[in-house]
Structure 1
């Protein structure tokens, strides 16, 4: 019997999918913490102990092995004690659609490989563009926010190069991108990949809370032009990774329009506001951008990967087109999306969002995103009222930054506790929180993207954080005394 998914193996497919889904469902029902807490050395031994050459063990046994090797030690984003990064629990209809698209294995790069799949993706791009305000816009699904930002900046680079009389090498050396210190790291990485100068990303001052200052942007652009640089793009962020704040897009658009500079809005995190019943106004001005990044696998609760770049003017996408006779010949009038994508072979990820919207409706998705933002507000209030904790600013989305304040410990020692607290929680597996640096000082971060997480769930995490900090603060002086005593006796 063949080991491929074909007509003759349809019954085997049913059996294996049922086996795998049953194992996963059991874990969802019985998992009691977001991570097993297994040490890296233990996990490395498990992985290294599996033989990958020689005869196979059969499909059923291989699927069974997934349970002990992977599911036992997976990081579970659905668990209420997971509050570390921008990972969300996923919509059930999207998971079912994932099974379908993996089995059919559609590639949506050309129409003759996907047919209706291409049309479904194009319809979703038009729908998302309408949400933004791009009435006649276009775009394409991508692997994530990093690729979407890279794609947008590629288009912005080509648009800028098309308007200068300088040679391409001379112009490349002068191009600059304007962003804040809170912009996603992919902005700087994209500048590198696009062959821009080492100092091509100009950091624009913010308002003290992570939001770009539009007046400072205007000044930065003027200074760049005066020094002979060529403004290529401004990247406004609608949902910074750490603070969860939104740049004033409308005011930034005013500056970009006046200066004739491409405005890209990175809404990878904040795109859920597009369907929010109560907070859509936070994205005011986004329709004036030339390009927008959206990550459905964050605030639309989709399985990774599900992202897109949207553009206001479809013709802008032509700057990234590349033709090959065997793939997208010039005389072909089929809607080949390889013409507008940085990828060739590309998964039919749009199907997951399509099924989710049909099953739940866009308003329901928006309500779920509003729920996690409401929770972040409540958690912020909780931390603000706790003398053992310090709130580090307020969010507009669903991140919460804070520090722990054990008694009798100075600021330097409190800063040093951040990494230790995060490590203690991770190694126990009981709760996962993140750490970052704000204004030069480390702090802990909660990223809330689970609509079923409650304030009581977060209170339990905060209690664990405080216990870990108190323990670590007590251990450190004792170790210092012991070391000092040992050195004295030596």
Structure 2
């Protein structure tokens, strides 16, 4: 074997030869022109998406879409970015939902702000992993700064802490894990992380409203508590957790020999956009000395609003909170967080690995965010997108967007109420309206409104959501776009009426 070191010129030539062939697709300083060209071509397709779409959806049927994708042979590569982008345009971009259009009023998908997209370029290209300092450096402290910034708006002190997560369901899972493990340690002197579930776990009970997010039941199942551990408390006439019923259900479970370990309040329900009575729930949690978690995945937008912040009064008393920046802070997916009031409680989640965060590591000298994460080791630097947003826009502009959306929703609620051809089910704290179209000659309103929704969907002109309340089918507006106007909604309502009038004649 020849161990002779190659002359400097030969080393350079060898490197250039490598990158002119099989390594030309690696992100590297010698391939920057290649990277820039690829990004430039892709940006052109983004521009096409924006300028081509005048409705939120193409209306393509799933069976057609499936056939278009299935026939592609992934073992046969294409010869150019032009071919790749043409293919992706045909099977994805042309049929992608355009959340930025005012005619999209369906789910909790917000339009996204441009500073966050600028940040996304760096997040993807540099590809830092947020689990340890040696993989992220400044990213570690930037994420921590944004967690502290969020905690301050919650009304927490410097004793709080948290971590960015992949989404609200994961943050809610972390809230449940903390609730279960803290209770077991403090009340049963049992360490679940070390010893598994205690015998009493089969009697653990967690109280949520019957309009809370479905992730709570799924998370309880994952944690080994079973869906039976979730006690769904009835809501009042405005679909907020009924405090009287909460007290009644807790008393009932205790009499049955079960053990309340926590309450999950919702700040912005998916179906109605309403906020549970946080102050009252916090007081009841304190009386029973149990954990209170707030799922504010949707309602976190109120944290920035001087006009509507009072709707979250009491959230500062919660032990933990779920935040979804990608719902209410106009961030690209994913951008979420889990925040705890007392950072010492996070020690429950810590697990030492010699190759990442060995026990002898000084956390003050070399911090590791993985100590706060429950199921993610490798984790994107999603916090950078929010950093770009705040530094370019400021929280005041984000708050203005939120205020405009809520004000619009109030105007639309009045518009629907005053129109005899529509029935508004309830008002909202945030920006969801549940309603249905009426026709005096039609008895089956469920079929009528389902017909309207499907006509809208397959025409692609307008996307609305739907839900069922007490077995009745309702249409649902979800407003998250500050560009949407009352005139836009007026046109949407007229289109709904047009399809409603066709019911019975086009079937």
Q: Would you say same fold, with TM above 0.5?
A: yes
Structure 1 residue matching 2:361: 3-state secondary structure: coil
- 2:264 is equivalent to residue 235 of structure 1: yes
Alignment-derived partner of residue 392 in structure 2: 359
Alpha-carbon deviations, 1:211-243, whole Å to 9, x = none? 112232222222222222111110100000001
Q: 1:139 to 1:439 in 2, by over 3 A?
A: same
Deviations 1:167-219 (A, max 9, x none): 74312101111011110001111111111144211111222211112232222
The Cα shift of 1:50 comes to 2.2
Aligned residue for 2:175?
152
Partner residue of 1:450 out of 440, 457, 481: 481
| 1:76 pairs with 2:98 | yes
4+ aligned runs moved over 6 Å, structure 1: none
Alpha-carbon distance, 1:166 to partner: 8.2
1:296 match: 325
TM-score of the pair, normalised by structure 1: 0.94
Pairwise CA distance, 1:165: 3.5
Post-superposition offset of 1:475: 4.2
Moved more, 447-456 or 23-32: 23-32
What TM-score results when the alignment is normalised by the length of structure 2?
Answer: 0.91
1:248 to 272, 277, 293: 277
Q: 1:176 aligns with which of 181, 186, 205?
A: 205
What corresponds to 2:16 in structure 1?
Answer: none
Moved more, 319-328 or 423-432: 319-328
Separation in structure 2 between the aligned mates of residue 207 and residue 349 of structure 1, nearest angstrom: 37
Which residue of structure 1 lines up, in the alignment, with residue 356 of structure 2?
327
CA distance in 2, matches of 1:439, 1:251: 26
CA distance in 1, matches of 2:188, 2:60: 60
* Secondary structure of the corresponding residue to residue 433 of structure 2: strand
Q: How many residues align?
A: 474
Taking a change above 3 Å as real, the CA distance of residues 286 and 72 of structure 1, as seen in their structure-2 partners, is same
Aligned to 1:89: 111
**8 Å contact from structure 2 (residues 218, 227) kept in 1:** no
Structure 2 CA distance, aligned partners of 1:473 and 1:231?
52
Where structure 2 has 5 or more consecutive residues not aligned to the other structure, the ranges are 1-19, 191-196
Match of 2:408 among 370, 375, 379: 375
| Greater displacement, 38-47 / 449-458 | 38-47
The two structures, once aligned, show a CA RMSD in angstroms of 1.4
In structure 2, C-alpha distance between the alignment counterparts of 1:358 and 1:198, rounded to whole Å: 43
Q: Which residue of 1 aligns with 2:503?
A: 472
CA distance in 2, matches of 1:294, 1:189: 19
Q: Which region of structure 1 is more displaced relative to structure 2, 6-15 or 444-453? A: 6-15
What's the counterpart of residue 45 of structure 1?
A: 67
Structure 1, gaps ≥5 residues long? 477-490
User: In the alignment, is the contact (CA less than 8 A) between 1:418 and 1:435 conserved in 2?
Assistant: no
Give the drift of 1:64.
3.6
Instruction: Kindly indicate whether residue 286 of structure 2 is the aligned counterpart of residue 257 of structure 1.
Output: yes
CA distance in 2, matches of 1:143, 1:286: 22
| Partner Cα separation in structure 2 for residue 54 and residue 20 of structure 1 | 21
**Match of 2:400, SS?**
helix
Q: 1:442 to 1:3 in 2, by over 3 A?
A: same
Aligned to 1:162, the other structure's residue is in SS state helix
1:436–1:442 contact (8 Å) kept in structure 2: yes
CA contact (8 A) 1:33 1:431 kept: yes
Q: SS of the counterpart of 2:183?
A: helix
Q: Is contact 2:217-2:227 (8 Å) kept? A: no
**Contact map agreement 2:162 2:372 (CA 8 A) in 1:** yes
Aligned to 2:505, what secondary structure does the other structure show?
A: helix
Residue 48 to residue 198, structure 1, CA distance change in 2 (3 Å): closer
Say if 1:365 and 1:197 are closer, same or farther in 2 by CA, change over 3 A.
Answer: same
Superposition deviation, residue 397 in structure 1: 0.3
Task: Please name the residue that 2:253 is paired with.
Answer: 224
Mapped partners of 2:470, 2:347: distance in 1:
41
Q: Give the equivalent residue in structure 2 for 1:130.
A: 152
In structure 1, C-alpha distance between the alignment counterparts of 2:119 and 2:459, rounded to whole Å: 34
Task: Please report how far the alpha carbon of residue 42 of structure 1 lies from its aligned counterpart in structure 2 after TM superposition.
Answer: 2.3
